[in-house]
Structure 1
Amino acid sequence: MRSTHGTQLRHLIELLDGAVTAAYEEAGLDYRPRYTPVMRALMANEPSTIGFIADAAGITQPAATQTIALMVKDGLVASKTGSQDGRQKMISLTGKGRELIPALERCWRATAAASAALEAELPFSLSAVLDSTIQALTTKPFGARIREARAELDTASPINS
């Protein structure tokens, strides 16, 4: 039986994230791979709002909110009410978060080198395929594609009553 895209992607993420998590552990770091986009966004622009972090990291605002909540719990970032807008939370690195940066950057360089080696083994660029897929789904979301396919199936083969 052929796996669906969702199953294949979940398995790929498990393989990649599992290895990256193990690499952080081997480096003596208590750190999750999902923190990286937020860390990178804050390293480039701190403090930042959750919305800015989500945009900079290329993740949804709910995903950014969930990740930041975990990072606050782990003591890597702090959240305080914005001075100009009390509804906004300003996120910044804590001392603990800043102390991790040199070790994280070493891990990220190793991960980038491993990714490049993986790409060299493939008959195509995985990064390019993923970028193209994300662009296609941004242009026309998968939900719309499912609805279109369902409508085509419904008109092509009406259900017998």
Structure 2
Amino acid sequence: MKPGLGTQLRHLIELLDGAVQAVYEEAGIDYRPRYTPVMRALQAQGSCSIGQIAEAAGITQPAATQTVALMQKAGLVAAAPGATDARQKRIQFSAAGLALLPQLEQCWRATAEAADSLDQELPYPLSTALADAIAALERQSFGARIRQARSKQ
């Protein structure tokens, strides 16, 4: 029996994230791959709200909130009250997060090179397939597609 799409995607993420996590450990960095979209958003924009991080990183707001909380516990980011609304937290790098960036940049460059290598080996680049799948799901959600399939039964 052919594995389902969700099963294949979870396995792919395990293979990718596991390898990236191992690279961080080999480099002596206590860091999770899931932190990278947040780090990249902060790197590009400076201090950000959770909503800005979610949008820049292409993740949901609850995922951004959860990831930022883990990063705060790890000492990589800090939260400060917003300038105009103290209820809206502004997330920024901590001193430790800033100090870690040069090492992370090396790992990110190696990861990007490995991703390019994988894309070259495939008949259709994985990065392109993922971008195409995301675009298709933005046009019509997977839930809508399931409901449509069920209505045909």
Range of TM-score over shorter length: over 0.9
CA distance in 2, matches of 1:121, 1:91: 39
One-letter identity of the residue aligned with 2:26: E
Report the secondary structure of 1:48's partner residue: coil
TM-score by length of 1: 0.93
One-letter identity of the residue aligned with 1:139: R
CA distance in 1, matches of 2:33, 2:115: 15
Task: Report the alpha carbon displacement of residue 86 of structure 1 after superposing the two structures with TM.
Answer: 2.1
CA distance in 2, matches of 1:84, 1:69: 22
Structure 1: which 5+ runs fail to align? Answer: 154-161
In the alignment, which residue of structure 2 is the partner of 1:157? Answer: none
CA distance in 2, matches of 1:71, 1:41: 14
Aligned positions, number: 153
Alignment map for 1:140-155 (pairs within 5 Å)? 140-153=140-153
Give the root-mean-square deviation of aligned CA atoms. 0.6
Larger Rg: 1
CA distance in 2, matches of 1:139, 1:108: 31
In the alignment, which residue of structure 1 is the partner of 2:21? Answer: 21
Alignment map for 1:2-41 (pairs within 5 Å)? 2-41=2-41
Identity over aligned residues, as a percent?
63
CA distance in 2, matches of 1:118, 1:46: 32
In the alignment, which residue of structure 1 is the partner of 2:42? Answer: 42
Alignment map for 1:63-102 (pairs within 5 Å)? 63-102=63-102
CA deviation map 1:53-80 (0-9, x unaligned): 1111111111100000000000000012
Q: Structure 1 residue runs of 4+, over 6 Å off?
A: none
CA distance in 2, matches of 1:87, 1:99: 28
CA distance in 2, matches of 1:49, 1:55: 10
CA distance in 2, matches of 1:152, 1:121: 38
CA distance in 2, matches of 1:44, 1:134: 23
Task: Report the alpha carbon displacement of residue 45 of structure 1 after superposing the two structures with TM.
Answer: 1.0
CA distance in 2, matches of 1:86, 1:137: 36
Q: Which moved more, 1:35-44 or 1:80-89?
A: 80-89
CA distance in 1, matches of 2:119, 2:44: 27
CA distance in 1, matches of 2:117, 2:47: 35
CA distance in 1, matches of 2:131, 2:82: 34
